[in-house]
């Protein structure tokens, strides 16, 4: 959690300065931006942490910033802080994917709780992304035969059935399976099946997303 | 009340069928007013009073049967006339021209029938010869009509005499002058040797018109009554009046003039009063809305520094704690400061909630009337700006639920802005259009103007408070309008350029108002 930062975006200098001071005194790292545009201009994909943004700002509004982040595939959790709280804006912000909605002036303990929660969400998102990336990297090292064996394993086929389908001897299937498990760094069959299912689920989800995107376009 | 009618008859009755100097029958007016005020069930009292008059005042007039028949005729016909006048809606104080006209028409026809019937009874019984009958009926008719036109409106005026008395006390000089003018005219008409009787009667219209214009209906009728009374006095003093029926007709014209003119003035005064009241209500609502928007904007602007202040204070508290060895009073003082800053923020919240929570009237608002009303209010400004306002509202447009005053404010703002906008373009091309259409679920009003339009830069924040392109504007009108429209679930948006080349504002009012409008506040539920 050490490299996580709270990115404070507010067009009021006093507000962003005091917030960053308070956040840093509470032991979190804070970084300030005077506008959403400023943040987007220097944003780096490797940044970790969460956003604490005002809704109503001179240029791009908090809601527009959320849209931009989603378009760019930025997964940083967003906490919205506003001086003009009304139900409609709050609903819009939360619908847009904000993890929380706070009203100015905000109680510092509540603020820190909300920020810690946002950072935890970021940590989880990050961990799952990393794991997914690792798995993808390992899968990519498999040969097509090994990948077929993995697929059959997820389908619950026996070694003999696999041999019949691939028209090879059960012994060869045994060799492919051993190599595949070695490359995936798995020791148990259960682990292999889990990774295989995850990969398949991710692939299906991607296919659905593409279909939806195509449909909406 | 029996006594009242009885005395009235006794006091005023004159031999109706004989050449008399009295050109009017006040008892007719009294009887009608009496029945209008108290209702049909008092008809027997009228019959008895009529019979007593006949017997006591001119017992030689006819047989007992004739007396009974004529009294019954009078009682029944007056009761019918009173009911007719009531059903025409002309009862109570006459305030509109229509009511005055209806009343006059009913009186003309009613008294004609009464006169014919009354004289007919005497002709049938042989008490009056047929040759005299026509002339007698005409006189009787005019006399009754005159009495009704003069007395009934006055007697049914009711309830507002206190105000009239106060006016008389305040403006007694003017009233005295008017009275003097009436007297002077009467002297000219009847006493001046050169005045060949009635030739100068028309002079009497001058004071009557003056009085009607100043004091409306009651004043005008009182003036005619005064003239009438003086005439009776003059008649008693043996002033020669050769053409009796002429005099009657002249007096009748005078009464009708007073009645109608008084009603016209009263109606116009009341319309003006209504316009003034509506303008005042609009101004009040507008002031309230301005205060609300100001409170809202102020809350937003002040919350930023208060938020910063609170964060700094908390940071200082943490720093003091860490440094250690600081005077304990510092911590205490910092805690107090945090409380005060929080209090300031709460006050702002309450201020805004106060203005936002107000007014949630839901009544059907007729869009056609709304547009016509707003257009009417701008006639003068449109003329000055030499701009044309075209209104096109679908005649089948449904009503919407809402607070009419608030919707007036919104339309007022839009049309007012449009007039100011077209001021920037040359004469001849200053056009404004107001369209009203409806979809399945909403009414859509659009205001287009041929002004310079709104720059895209300004359009982005046009509806925010304190944003304006005018040199003398506060920039609150559109902010208020949008708040008001959104409060009832509608939307107000701007397009530029619009149909006429300038700005185009679209007001969308849903037919069904959501039970929880969008602008409900989070803070209000803490």
Residue B438, number of CB atoms within 10 A of its CB: 18
Cβ proximity of B223 and B206 under 8 Å:
no
Residues of chain A above pLDDT 90, percent = 27
**Does the beta carbon of A109 lie under 8 angstroms from any beta carbon of chain B?**
no
Which residues are within 8 A (CB) of B174 and not within 5 positions of it... i.e. 6 or more apart?
B214
Closest CA to A108 of B411, B310, B236, B524: B310
Q: Which two tokens stand for residue B162?
A: 């206190």
Q: What pLDDT shows up at residue B185?
A: 83
Q: Is the pLDDT of residue B269 over 60?
A: yes
Select the more confidently predicted residue: A211 or B182: B182
Q: Which of A42-51, A124-133, B375-384 has the highest mean pLDDT?
A: A42-51
Of the pLDDT bands very low, low, confident and very high (cuts 50, 70, 90), residue A20 is very high
Lowest mean pLDDT among B26-35, B69-78, B90-99, B433-442: B90-99
What is the pLDDT at residue B135? 78
Name the segment(s) of chain A with CATH classification 1.10.10.10. Answer: 141-204
Which residue has 């016209």 as its token pair? B264
Is A141-204 a domain of CATH 1.10.10.10?
yes
Q: Work out the widest C-alpha separation in chain A, in whole angstroms.
A: 74
B48: contact with A, CB 8 A cutoff: no
Other CB atoms closer than 10 Å to residue B364's CB: what's the count?
A: 10
Distance, CA of B140 to CA of B113 (rounded, Å): 11
Contacts with B300 from chain A: Cβ below 8 Å: 56, 83-84
Per-residue pLDDT, averaged over A3-32, amounts to 92
Q: What is the mean pLDDT of residues B224-237?
A: 72
Cα B82 to Cα B198: distance, rounded to the nearest angstrom = 34
CB–CB contact A105 B522 (8 Å) = no
CA distances, A49 to each of A99, B107, B264, B305 (Å)? 13, 92, 79, 26
Q: Is the pLDDT of residue A132 over 70?
A: yes
CB contacts of B319 in chain A (<8 Å) are 25
Distance CA A213, CA B119 (A): 99
Q: What is the pLDDT of residue B520?
A: 37
What confidence score (pLDDT) does residue B351 get? Answer: 75
pLDDT of residue B436: 92
CA–CA dist B73, B50 (Å, integer): 10
Window A:152-181, CB contacts with B under 8 Å? none
- Residue B523 CA to residue A103 CA, distance in Å, equals 9
When scoring B301, B304, B319, B490 by the number of chain A Cβ atoms within 10 A, the one with the most, hence best to mutate, is: B304
Given a contact cutoff of 8 angstroms between Cβ atoms, the answer to whether B5 and B31 are in contact is yes
Nearest to B304 among A25, A83, A103 (CB): A83
Q: Please report where in the chains the tokens 């904000």 appear, as a residue.
A: A98
Q: Which of A70-79, A136-145, B478-487 has the highest mean pLDDT?
A: A70-79
More confident residue, B139 or A181: A181
pLDDT value, residue B260:
87
Interface of B with A in 368-397 (CB under 8 A): none
DSSP A73: T
Question: To probe the interface with B, which of A83, A88, A89, A90 has the most B CB atoms within 10 Å?
Answer: A83
Task: Name the strands in the sheet holding A5-9, side by side, starting at the edge strand that comes first in the sequence.
Answer: A29-33, A5-9, A49-54, A78-82, A100-103
Cα separation of B81 and B219, whole Å?
A: 25
d(CA A115, CA B287): 42
Interface contact B335, partner A, CB < 8 A: no
B502 — alpha (psi -120 to 50), left (phi > 0) or beta? Answer: beta
CATH 3.40.50.2300 domain position(s) in chain A? 5-130
| Chain A / chain B CB contacts < 8 angstroms | 78
Strand-pairing partners, residue B472, are none
- B131, pLDDT greater than 80: no
> Cα–Cα distance between B116 and A38 in angstroms, integer?
99
| Rounded Cα–Cα distance for residues B298 and B301 (Å) | 5
- Choose the weakest-confidence range: A106-115, B64-73, B106-115, B367-376: B64-73
Q: What is the rounded average pLDDT of the residues B56-63?
A: 61
Residue A75 backbone zone (phi > 0: left; psi -120 to 50: alpha; other: beta): alpha
Q: What's the average model confidence in pLDDT over A161-176? A: 88
In this structure, of B93-107, B293-307, B424-438, B510-524, the range with the lowest mean pLDDT score is B510-524
**Closest partner CB to A21 (pick from B307, B315, B520):** B315
In chain B the domains, ranked by start, together with CATH numbers, are 1-158 (1.10.1760), 276-356 (1.10.287.130), 363-524 (3.30.565.10)
Torsion angle of C-alpha atoms B222, B228, B230, B235, degrees rounded to 10: -170
Cis geometry, peptide bond prior to residue B92 (ω within 30 degrees of 0): no
**CA angle in degrees (0–180, nearest 5) for B488-A88-B479:** 60
Q: Which positions in chain A touch B311 (Cβ < 8 Å)?
A: 15, 18-19, 21-22, 105, 108
Rounded to 5 degrees, φ, ψ at A201 are -60, -45
Q: Residue A108 in contact with residue A26, Cβ under 8 Å? A: yes
How far apart (Å, rounded) are the C-alpha atoms in residues A49 and A55?
19
The pLDDT value recorded for residue B173 is 85
Q: Given this model, what pLDDT does residue B244 score?
A: 67
For tokens 């100015």, the residue is A104
CB B519 within 8 A of CB B457: no
| pLDDT at position B116 | 87
- Residues, chain A, total? 217
pLDDT band at B458 (very low <50, low <70, confident <90, very high): confident
Contact between A65 and A88 (Cβ < 8 Å): no
**A199-213 mean pLDDT:** 70
Helix (H, G, I), strand (E, B) or coil at B449: strand
**Nearest Cβ partner for B308 among A14, A56, A108:** A14
For residues A89 and A85, what is the distance between their CA atoms, to the nearest angstrom?
7
Q: Does B483 touch chain A (CB under 8 A)?
A: no
Neighbour-count burial of A47, counting CB atoms closer than 10 A to its CB (0-12 exposed, 13-18 middle, 19+ buried): middle
Whether B311 and chain A come into contact, CB under 8 Å, resolves to yes
Q: In the prediction, which pLDDT does B243 show?
A: 61
Share in percent of chain A as helix, strand, coil (round to 5): 60, 10, 25
**CA B491/CA B483 separation, integer angstroms:** 9
Phi, psi of A143 (to 5 degrees): -80, 170
Say if residue A126's pLDDT is above 90.
Answer: no
With CA atoms as reference, the chain A residue closest to B307 would be A105
- Residue B123 forms contact with A (CB below 8 Å): no
Sort residue B81 into left (φ over 0), alpha (ψ -120 to 50) or beta. alpha
| Mutate which: B300, B301, B308, vs A, most A CBs within 10 A | B308
Q: Hey, of B296, B297, B302, B315, which one would you mutate to test binding to chain A, going by the most A CBs within 10 A of its CB? A: B315
Residue A9 φ/ψ, nearest 5 degrees: -120, 115
Residue B119 CA to residue B140 CA, distance in Å, equals: 8
Check if A1 contacts B (Cβ < 8 Å).
no
Q: What is the pLDDT of residue B526?
A: 30
How far is the alpha carbon of B366 from chain A, nearest alpha carbon, in Å? 29
Query: Is B357 an 8 Å CB contact of chain A?
Result: no
| pLDDT for B12 | 45
**Which class does domain A5-130 fall in?**
alpha beta
Return the C-alpha torsion angle B63, B64, B68, B70, nearest 10: 20
What local confidence, expressed as pLDDT, does residue A85 receive? 63
Is the pLDDT reported for residue A34 higher than 90? yes
Q: What is the pLDDT of residues B312-336, one digit of tens each?
A: 999 998 888 888 777 888 888 888 8
Residue A86 pLDDT exceeds 70: no
What is the Cα–Cα distance from B218 to B211, expressed in whole angstroms?
A: 10
Mean pLDDT of A62-77: 89
If you ran DSSP here, which 8-state letter would residue B513 be given?
Answer: P
Residue B256: its pLDDT value, please? 87
Q: What is the pLDDT of residues B146-204, one digit of tens each?
A: 888 888 887 777 656 666 777 777 788 888 888 888 888 877 777 666 556 567 777 88
Q: What is the pLDDT of residues B407-454, one digit of tens each?
A: 888 888 899 889 888 988 888 889 999 999 998 889 999 999 998 888
Q: Whose CA is closest to B234, among B194, B181, B192?
A: B192
The pLDDT, as a whole number, for residue B448 is: 92
Closest CA to B212 of B201, B204, B220: B220
Give residue B420's pLDDT.
87
| pLDDT score for A212 | 58
Spatial CB neighbours of B119, under 8 Å, sequence gap ≥ 6: B17, B128, B133, B136, B137, B140
Cis peptide before B497 (omega within 30 of 0): yes
Mean of per-residue pLDDT scores for chain A:
85
In this predicted structure, the answer to whether residue B283 has a pLDDT above a threshold of 60 is yes
B371 has pLDDT over 70? yes
**Residue B11 predicted with pLDDT over 50:** no
Mean pLDDT of A9-35: 93
Top-confidence residue, B216 or B370: B370
Determine the distance from the C-alpha atom of residue B167 to the mean position of all C-alpha atoms in its chain, rounded to a whole number.
20
């Amino acid at each position: 959690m050490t490299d996580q930062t709270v990115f404070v975006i507010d067009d009021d200098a006093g507000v962003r300065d005091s917030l960053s001071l308070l956040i840093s005194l509470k032991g979190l790292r804070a970084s300030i931006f005077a506008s959403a545009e400023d943040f987007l201009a220097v944003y780096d994909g490797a940044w970790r942490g969460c956003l604490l943004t005002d809704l109503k700002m001179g240029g791009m509004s908090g809601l527009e910033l959320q849209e931009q982040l989603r378009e760019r595939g930025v997964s940083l959790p967003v906490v919205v802080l506003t001086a003009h709280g009304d139900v409609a804006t709050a609903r819009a912000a939360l619908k847009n994917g904000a993890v929380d909605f706070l009203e100015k002036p905000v109680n510092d303990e509540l603020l820190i709780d909300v920020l810690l929660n946002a950072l935890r969400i970021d940590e989880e998102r990050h961990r799952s992304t990393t794991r997914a990336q690792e798995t993808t990297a390992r899968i990519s090292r498999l040969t097509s035969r090994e990948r077929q064996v993995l697929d059959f394993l997820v389908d619950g086929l026996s070694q003999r059935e696999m041999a019949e389908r691939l028209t090879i001897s059960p012994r060869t299937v045994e060799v492919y399976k051993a190599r595949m498990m070695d490359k995936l760094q798995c020791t148990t069959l259960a682990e292999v099946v889990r990774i295989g299912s995850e990969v398949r689920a991710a692939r299906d989800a991607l296919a659905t997303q593409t279909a939806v995107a195509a449909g909406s376009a | 009340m029996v006594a009242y009618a009885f005395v009235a008859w006794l006091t005023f009755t004159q031999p109706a069928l004989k050449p008399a100097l009295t050109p009017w029958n006040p008892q007719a007016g009294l009887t009608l007013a009496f029945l209008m005020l108290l209702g049909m069930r008092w008809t027997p009292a009228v019959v008895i009073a009529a019979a007593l008059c006949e017997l006591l005042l001119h017992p030689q007039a006819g047989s007992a049967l004739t007396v009974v028949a004529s009294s019954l005729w009078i009682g029944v016909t007056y009761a019918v006339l009173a009911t007719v006048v009531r059903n025409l809606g002309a009862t109570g104080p006459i305030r509109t021209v229509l009511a005055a006209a209806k009343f006059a028409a009913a009186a003309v026809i009613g008294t004609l029938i009464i006169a014919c019937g009354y004289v007919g009874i005497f002709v049938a019984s042989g008490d009056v010869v047929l040759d005299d009958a026509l002339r007698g009926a005409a006189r009787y008719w005019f006399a009754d009509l005159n009495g009704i036109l003069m007395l009934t409106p006055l007697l049914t005026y009711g309830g507002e005499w206190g105000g009239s008395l106060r006016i008389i006390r305040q403006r007694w000089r003017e009233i005295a002058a008017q009275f003097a003018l009436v007297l002077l005219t009467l002297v000219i008409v009847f006493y001046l040797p050169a005045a060949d009787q009635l030739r100068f009667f028309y002079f009497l219209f001058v004071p009557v018109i003056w009085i009607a214009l100043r004091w409306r209906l009651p004043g005008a009728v009182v003036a005619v009554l005064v003239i009438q009374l003086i005439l009776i006095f003059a008649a008693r003093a043996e002033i020669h009046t050769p053409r009796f029926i002429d005099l009657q007709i002249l007096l009748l014209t005078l009464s009708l003039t007073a009645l109608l003119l008084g009603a016209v003035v009263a109606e116009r005064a009341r319309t003006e009063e209504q316009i003034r009241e509506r303008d005042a209500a609009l101004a009040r609502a507008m002031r309230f809305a301005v205060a609300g928007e100001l409170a809202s904007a102020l809350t937003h602007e002040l919350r930023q520094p208060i938020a910063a202040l609170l964060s700094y204070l908390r940071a200082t508290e943490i720093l003091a704690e860490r440094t250690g060895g600081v005077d304990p009073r510092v911590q205490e003082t910092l805690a107090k400061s945090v409380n005060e800053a929080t209090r300031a923020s709460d006050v702002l919240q309450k201020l805004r909630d106060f203005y936002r929570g107000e007014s949630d009237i839901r009544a059907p608002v007729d869009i056609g009337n709304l547009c016509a009303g707003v257009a009417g209010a701008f006639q003068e400004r449109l003329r000055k700006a030499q701009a044309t306002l075209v209104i096109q509202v679908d005649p089948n447009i449904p009503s919407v639920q809402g607070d009419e005053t608030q919707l007036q404010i919104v339309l007022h703002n839009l049309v007012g802005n449009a007039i100011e906008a077209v001021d920037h373009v040359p004469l001849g091309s200053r056009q404004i259009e107001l369209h009203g259409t409806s979809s399945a679920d909403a009414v859509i009003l659009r205001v287009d103007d041929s002004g310079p339009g709104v720059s895209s830069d300004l359009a982005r924040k046009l509806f925010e408070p304190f944003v304006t392109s005018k040199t003398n504007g506060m920039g609150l009108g559109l902010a208020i309008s949008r708040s008001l429209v959104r409060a009832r679930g509608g939307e107000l948006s701007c397009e530029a350029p619009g149909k006429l080349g300038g700005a185009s504002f679209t007001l969308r009012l849903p037919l069904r108002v959501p039970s929880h409008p969008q602008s409900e506040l989070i803070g209000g539920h803490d």
